[in-house]
Amino acid sequence: MRIGVCPGSFDPVTNGHVDIFERASKLVDKLVVAVLDNPNKHSLFTMEERVALIKASVTHIPNIEVDCAGGLLNEYVKSKDSHIIIRGLRALSDFEYEFQRALFSKFLDDNIETIFIMTNNKYSFVSSTGIRELAKFNGKLTGLVPPVVKEALEAKFNGK
């Protein structure tokens, strides 16, 4: 069984992420979306909230599992009986950062492969940081995030 791991902070998950999940799920028998705890970031949503939001956003993808992880990604990937990391890329700046991370993974374990999936053009400008900023100032979120995420953002910023 080919198992792919798609890691990220997903704070919050966007339609761009969901598009990557949909496309990645066709490349593997099972796709594990791993919500990572990044100690360098202050998250808007807790890890449990992010997992719940992703689960609610991907019910239409049959071969997906949503999990959370900490520590070294390579160790997590191996714990899932995988050797495939799947990353979404929006821009050249993403590639430079993700390329370096892929080389670190390869250095740590030569059996781990990283696959890059380019974003759909309609989501190339969408980032979780931009979404949080839009939500903070009551900007238009429709079409950028799943409806459940829109509701959660409005609840966080507007008390709805």
| Catalytic residue status for 90 | yes
Of 25, 57, 128, 150, which is the active-site residue? 128
CB 129 within 8 A of CB 93: no
| Catalytic residue status for 41 | yes
- What's the sign of the alpha-carbon dihedral 80, 45, 17, 74? negative
Of 23, 78, 90, 156, which is the active-site residue? 90
In 3D space, the residue among 68, 73, 96 whose CA is nearest the CA of residue 84 turns out to be: 73
Of 17, 50, 83, 150, which is the active-site residue? 17
Of 2, 41, 122, 136, which is the active-site residue? 41
| Catalytic residue status for 17 | yes
Q: How far is CA 31 from CA 21, 56, 108, 112, 158, in A?
A: 8, 16, 22, 15, 34
Residues catalogued as catalytic: 17, 41, 90, 128
